[in-house]
Structure 1
């Protein structure tokens, strides 16, 4: 298992994040949105050199802030496509193992709006040029999320065989209950190339330290055994939260 963590979620700046990753043998999942928000952060090339010096690799979370690949407004979808394409190029320059992509929102829950949103999502996925492996992440956290079930995500992935699947165990718990992870895995396990690991009590997406909620970590450890892809911790709690989560997963 190739394990990493998100510095953004953990609340760590890059120097501390690299030190922790090097100490624990982890990679870093870089949030592209953070680099859009703060141009003072290192470039992809600079991060890659920092990673090479520290012996630390990367994955990249593609844009999701003020972003909607399924937008019914053509200008919004076009901007989302452009930002995603720039983020993919950023991840490729970083040497990232993979990128993680959300699937969009349709707040207007009318049949014609949902139909058009699905069409826009398919068009957007087809237009993106993938310079690295990209995994579509399960969401279902908001009434506005376009895709609400494992079957819907499976249908999208079936239409786009060049994309993989990112199983977010915390999202699955909130969306589908305690059996949600298994449900997604049964449908999409062969397409899984990445996981997001964090915990919650099932009521909201808390991004708690692993072991502090209702996620079945025994099942997760079994899935990770022999898994050849990547798995990123998206936990709060700073370095201590990352350490406790790593101990649980490696214990």
Structure 2
């Protein structure tokens, strides 16, 4: 099974996006931002999807050295956890960033503090969350495998975004690391285009091997609805070929 992110229909109301996705998947990751921001679980309860939720990321920075911003970011993510708890969804979050290279070590401590607080909140709500590796945005955490100990050491799972890893030239390293969740989209290694599978340079046969090892439901996170349907067809063929080897 392949899940689909509502990112491909983010310009449409969430209810319409969920209706359009029904013929092609039983699993949806809601991009909890913009038109798809979830104030409650009510918009999701009319559908029988297996849900994941990509927590809000606009303006959210759990590694901020400005503690009011860090605390507010943790609160926003905790609210997303509460919605997720109502529909039995796991949650994907971003790791945060620092503004200046000299602030990295301080930001690491803030990041760890936020993860500790989020771990407690998730446990209270019986929710599981994963941290996503970032693209080629300067000063974000988890751009490379070097930052994996920040989450491994406290038992938080990785949401492996293969497009982001490809942009940073470290996809092979990330594929060798156990991941709990996957975002699948393609690019040529220069821009985060969220292109359909096969339109870039990523070797998805290697990606699907890692997905099979994990047992996770991979999420297709492509920019257009048409690109999603094309990607599902391409990935199904790649996966079938890999299983027959």
RMSD: 2.0
Match of 1:151 among 146, 149, 156: 146
Counterpart of 2:4? 5
Gaps of 5+ in 1: none
Matched, 1:248 2:234: yes
Deviation (angstroms), 1:140: 4.2
Structure 2 counterpart of 1:201? 188
Which structure has more RCO (C-alpha within 8 Å, separation ≥ 6)?
Answer: 1
Per-residue CA deviations over 1:105-163 (Å, capped at 9, x if unaligned) read: 112111xx1111000000000011113111111114211213442021x21123211x2
Paired residues in the alignment total 231
Specify the SS of the correspondent of 2:77.
helix
Are 1:230 and 2:217 matched, yes or no? yes
Structure 2: distance between partners of 1:76 and 1:228 = 36
Q: Return 5+ residue gaps in structure 2 as ranges.
A: 238-245
Tell whether the 8 Å contact from 2:163 to 2:192 is kept in structure 1 after alignment: yes
Instruction: Confirm or deny that 1:164 pairs with 2:151.
Output: no
The 1:147/1:236 distance shift into structure 2, 3 A limit, reads closer
2:114 is matched with which residue?
124
Q: Structure 1 pair 38/81, CA: closer, same or farther in 2 (3 Å)?
A: closer
TM-score of the aligned structures, taking structure 1 as reference length? 0.85
Q: Secondary structure at the residue paired with 1:24?
A: coil
TM-score in terms of structure 2 length:
0.87
Give the secondary structure class of the aligned counterpart of 1:99: strand
User: Equivalent of 1:89, from 73, 82, 86?
Assistant: 82
SS of 1:211's partner is coil
Residue 181 (structure 1) aligns with:
171
